[in-house]
Structure 1
């Protein structure tokens, strides 16, 4: 029989003769069979911290960050994520803008979520805290920042940017974006991509400070749209405003229009 001939072929016999060992769902052969057993890693106290620097261990840490974030924020209620530069000085008009945004969001019955750092993030947290609302900070481990700002009531620190960004989106009904740098742009364009691709729906995005953002938006219009990289309706994903009251009104109107009957 042809099938029996295949099973008894020299290649098949050689494969069966190759030493192998199972490690959970993984099968090890040849040189990989010399890898220590999982129990050896677990029971060998003289191995130092090698395992904590491997990818499987990182997966567990990533999982633990998701669990911690989900568990902490699950009962948060309606919230808006506010982004902006950590370098915004306290005497900047952008800082004052952030404070007012935070205050008005609380008056509209939203919690305020920021990255928990200084600058524009601190401003929004301060405005929310002083207005008597819930002020949330989602921090990230960075070499040049110094923990949560003093106005954060509920703070969660993360090692991994992508876990943190998931929390910003999952537990917010929209974004208000103050002037900022690369980190702010990263969060902005990720949010725009998620809305454009319909990974999230009913998610208003408001840019505060038309003079600051106008050159970027002109580039989007003059380069991306003009060259067919986006469609005209994609420009409607974002609102540009200067008035904090208008910013809050826009997120309220958008979320209200998509509520289930």
Structure 2
């Protein structure tokens, strides 16, 4: 069940990326869209070089804010699942279990199945991190984020997920969740990142996709059968977290060896964030 608590109004919450504003209505375009659409800016030949500095600034802000991160698990999931839904409750349980196992919880910082793991981690006194993104429709960081950044560019945000996480869990979700899942699978498969554990929670939800992967991708030789071992599918929060912890016991990545000594304690990460 979701913790029966409310965010502390006195708790400092801040963004070190773009300014967070209360606005009305939808944005006409986003920074990503204006970057990728060649004709979007009348004076694009002069504007694009300045965009490089803005992109650079997002990387600098992200690296600066997350440099002292403890070991962490990123949770992906739909923004459209409301509080009270069984998947939302599952997300809260997952965030709590991850925090209880000594990890920070990183999400996309939005509502739904991003909010739920942040909420669970917050309730367990773990570090709850949100990496938000500018979208055409308004989406603010949820109230359960302790350490939050808001990005203009998807690729900068995705780098932070990959760089500062040592495991990935996918709750049910839409195109965004699928995009994040397959990017992580691709990066692990190709050796671009350490072979970190990947878990899909919701056997019924994911079954059709898994069947298609087996029947089409494996059968047609698009991937090898051993690639099916890159992820675990389960309905159990306990099994998911135990799988992650067990994998990490066997791994030799520098971000896991001596992690308890190497990383700044959670309360110090919060304090540092408040003084930047």
TM-score, structure 1 as length reference: 0.79
The corresponding residue for 2:248 is 255
Q: Is the 8 A contact 1:117 1:145 kept in 2?
A: no
2:203 to 203, 207, 210: 210
Asked which structure has the greater RCO (Cα within 8 Å, sep 6+), the reply is: 2
Matches of residues 14-163 of structure 1 in structure 2 within 5 Å? 54-163=47-156
**Alpha-carbon offset, residue 53 of structure 1:** 6.7
Structure 1 53/100 Cα, relative in aligned 2: closer, same or farther at 3 Å?
farther
Q: Aligned partners of 1:62 and 1:148: how far apart in 2? A: 20
1:50: Cα distance to partner? 5.7
Q: Match for residue 39 of structure 1?
A: none
Q: Secondary structure at the match of 2:173?
A: coil
Moved more, 143-152 or 211-220: 143-152
**How far 1:91 sits from its partner (Å)?**
1.7
Give unmatched runs, 5+ long, in structure 1: 1-48
2:165 is matched with 172
**What SS does the aligned partner of 1:229 have?**
coil
Q: Deviations over 1:97-132 (max 9, x none)?
A: 100110000000000000000000000000000100
In structure 2, C-alpha distance between the alignment counterparts of 1:239 and 1:114, rounded to whole Å? 19
* SS of equivalent residue, structure 2 residue 195: coil
Partner of 1:229: 222
Structure number with bigger Rg: 1
Contact 1:105–1:111 under 8 Å retained in 2: yes
Offset, 1:145? 3.5
Q: Residue 144 and residue 53 in structure 1: after superposition, are their counterparts in 2 closer, same or farther (change >3 A)?
A: farther
The offset of 1:259, in angstroms, is: 2.9
Give the whole-Å Cα distance in 1 for the aligned partners of 2:43 and 2:150. 24
Query: In structure 2, what is the Cα distance between the partners aligned to 1:88 and 1:138?
Result: 18
Q: Separation in 2 of the partners of 1:145 and 1:80?
A: 26
Give the superposition deviation at 1:90: 1.0
1:202 deviates by 3.1
Structure with bigger helix share is 1
Residues 115-154 of structure 1 show CA distances to partners (whole Å, capped at 9, x for unaligned) of 0000000000000001001000000001223210000010
Count of residues paired in the alignment: 213
Which segments of structure 1 move beyond 3 Å, counting only runs of 4 or more? 49-53
What is the root-mean-square deviation in Å for CA atoms of aligned residues? 1.6
